[in-house]
């Protein structure tokens, strides 16, 4: 378990450094970059949903969305079925160049995956999914 914990901490540290470098390349801070990642994964969200997903205060989310909108990464749009609500959505044209930012890293991960069987990779996926779910729950408990 100690080796697993040490490996997890090392992976977490380099992940933060990588995403900080990606954010800097985009002219964003880490929170802005991870918010874009969240919107890419989940699709358009309300500010309330963003606050719930990120653990940020509603006022902080307003400032965050304002900054991302000013930088051209997101836009506010009316909810399709509830005109009282506003969604924050990614401006995909601004994200078009992001594939090249991740291409080098993605190539290296593909090379690494070639060293493992499909069954081994399925085990890794199951572990990572479980760890992410548990970390999400722990973060929610800390935010209370």
Q: Encode pLDDT of 108-123 as tens digits.
A: 999 999 999 999 999 9
Mean pLDDT value of segment 8-27: 92
The neighbour count for residue 40, using CB atoms within 10 Å, is 12
Number of H helices, E strands in the chain: 7, 3
The neighbour count for residue 90, using CB atoms within 10 Å, is 19
CATH code linked to domain 2-95: 1.10.10.10
Mean pLDDT value of segment 43-62: 93
DSSP helix/strand/coil, 80 = coil
pLDDT at 101: 83
Model confidence at 71: pLDDT above 80: yes
Model confidence at 24: pLDDT above 80: yes
Residue length, the chain? 144
Alpha-carbon dihedral sign for residues 56, 54, 143, 5: negative
pLDDT at 144: 74
23: Cβ contacts below 8 Å, ≥ 6 apart: 29, 30, 32, 33
User: Mean pLDDT for the chain?
Assistant: 93
38: Cβ contacts below 8 Å, ≥ 6 apart: 45, 50, 53, 54
Model confidence at 53: pLDDT above 80: yes
């Amino acid at each position: 378990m100690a080796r697993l914990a040490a490996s997890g901490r090392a992976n977490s540290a380099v992940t933060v450094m990588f995403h900080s470098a990606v954010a800097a390349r985009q002219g964003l801070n880490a929170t802005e970059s991870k918010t874009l990642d969240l919107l890419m994964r989940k699709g358009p969200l309300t500010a309330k949903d963003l606050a719930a997903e990120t653990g940020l205060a509603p006022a902080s989310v307003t400032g965050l969305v304002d900054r991302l909108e000013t930088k051209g990464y997101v836009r506010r749009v009316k909810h399709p079925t509830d005109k009282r609500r506003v969604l924050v959505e990614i401006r995909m044209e601004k994200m078009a160049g992001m594939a090249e930012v991740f291409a080098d890293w993605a190539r290296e991960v593909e090379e690494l995956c070639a060293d493992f069987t499909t069954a081994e990779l399925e085990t890794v996926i199951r572990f990572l999914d479980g760890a992410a779910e548990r970390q999400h729950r722990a973060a929610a408990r800390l935010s209370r």
